């Protein structure tokens, strides 16, 4: 039992629960430090996650991915994002579905002809107004309520909207990547593979073995 400032007692959490909450907050902080990146690097992180073979990872690594994904929720001071926060690791089923949804969405955006990535709709959305004391100007805030996974998808979509101008599909393997200037291939290996294929086609056209 502990006492608050009024002198009344209130029941403290069991030691085991306190430990779990402490572990949860510690992992969230570790994830925040990993995702404290420039927007382009955050987008590269998303692309790497979309390609990751989750089945080859340890349970610990998948748990770390789940905590890191939670820091991708949209950052907008004029929007209040409401969702049931999970005080614990993300379920594997949720992690796998998030990866599949992110991969599918990015592939649609890079498809030829272009396709639309349909994002999850909120369970409730509203707009409220506030007026500061002594100030006649009103401010407005958007409220969005949905599932945690949905806010992560919206965060990824927002990241692409704001910083995805250089998002490309590799001409060889079709994997998405952020291009530098007129870059067409995600890696030098893919670039060399395409050059080798063109060389082989030219030799075949000339009748060479």
pLDDT of residue 17: 60
pLDDT of residue 11: 60
For residue 8, is pLDDT > 60?
no
Between residues 200 and 209, which one has the greater pLDDT? 200
- Evaluate whether 131 touches 137 at the Cβ level (below 8 Å): yes
Angle of CA points 54, 28, 75, to nearest 5°:
95
For residue 142, is pLDDT > 90?
no
Q: What number is the average pLDDT over the span 7-12? A: 57
Report the alpha-carbon distance of residue 91 to residue 180 in Å, rounded: 36
Q: What number is the average pLDDT over the span 170-192? A: 93
pLDDT tens for 47-75 read: 999 999 999 999 999 999 999 999 998 87
Between residues 19 and 164, which one has the greater pLDDT? 164
Report the alpha-carbon distance of residue 19 to residue 126 in Å, rounded: 37
Q: What number is the average pLDDT over the span 86-103? A: 93
Report which listed range, 23-27, 129-133, 184-188, is most confident. Answer: 184-188
Report the alpha-carbon distance of residue 172 to residue 97 in Å, rounded: 26
Closest to 67 measured CA to CA, from 144, 148, 167: 148
Give the whole-number percent of the chain exceeding pLDDT 70. 85
Q: What number is the average pLDDT over the span 129-139? A: 72
For residue 2, is pLDDT > 90?
no
Closest to 63 measured CA to CA, from 16, 85, 30: 30
- Evaluate whether 49 touches 99 at the Cβ level (below 8 Å): yes
For residue 5, is pLDDT > 80?
no
Q: Comparing 102-111, 129-138, 178-187, which segment has the lowest mean pLDDT? A: 129-138
Report the alpha-carbon distance of residue 79 to residue 143 in Å, rounded: 6
- Evaluate whether 72 touches 46 at the Cβ level (below 8 Å): yes
pLDDT band at 80 (very low <50, low <70, confident <90, very high): confident
Report the alpha-carbon distance of residue 109 to residue 101 in Å, rounded: 12
What is the average pLDDT value for the chain, to the nearest integer?
Answer: 85
Residue with tokens 């294929």: 197
């Amino acid at each position: 039992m502990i006492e608050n400032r009024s002198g009344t007692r209130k029941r403290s959490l069991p030691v085991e629960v306190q430990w779990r909450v402490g572990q949860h907050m510690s992992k969230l902080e570790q994830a925040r430090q990993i995702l404290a990146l420039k927007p382009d690097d955050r987008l590269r992180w998303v692309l790497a996650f979309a390609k990751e073979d989750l089945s080859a990872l340890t349970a610990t690594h998948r748990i770390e991915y789940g905590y890191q994904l939670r820091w991708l929720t949209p950052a907008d001071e004029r929007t209040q994002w409401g969702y049931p926060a999970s005080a614990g690791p993300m379920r594997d089923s949720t992690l796998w579905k998030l990866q599949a949804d992110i991969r599918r969405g990015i592939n649609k955006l890079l498809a030829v002809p272009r396709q639309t990535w349909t994002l999850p709709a909120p369970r409730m959305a509203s707009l409220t107004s506030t007026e500061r004391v002594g100030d006649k100007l009103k401010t407005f805030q958007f409220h969005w309520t949905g599932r945690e996974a949905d806010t992560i998808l919206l965060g990824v979509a927002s990241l692409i909207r704001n910083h995805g101008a250089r998002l490309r599909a590799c001409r060889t393997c079709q994997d998405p990547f952020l291009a530098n200037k007129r870059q067409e291939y995600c890696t030098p290996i893919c670039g060399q593979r395409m050059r080798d294929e063109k060389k082989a086609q030219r030799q075949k056209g000339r009748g060479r073995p």
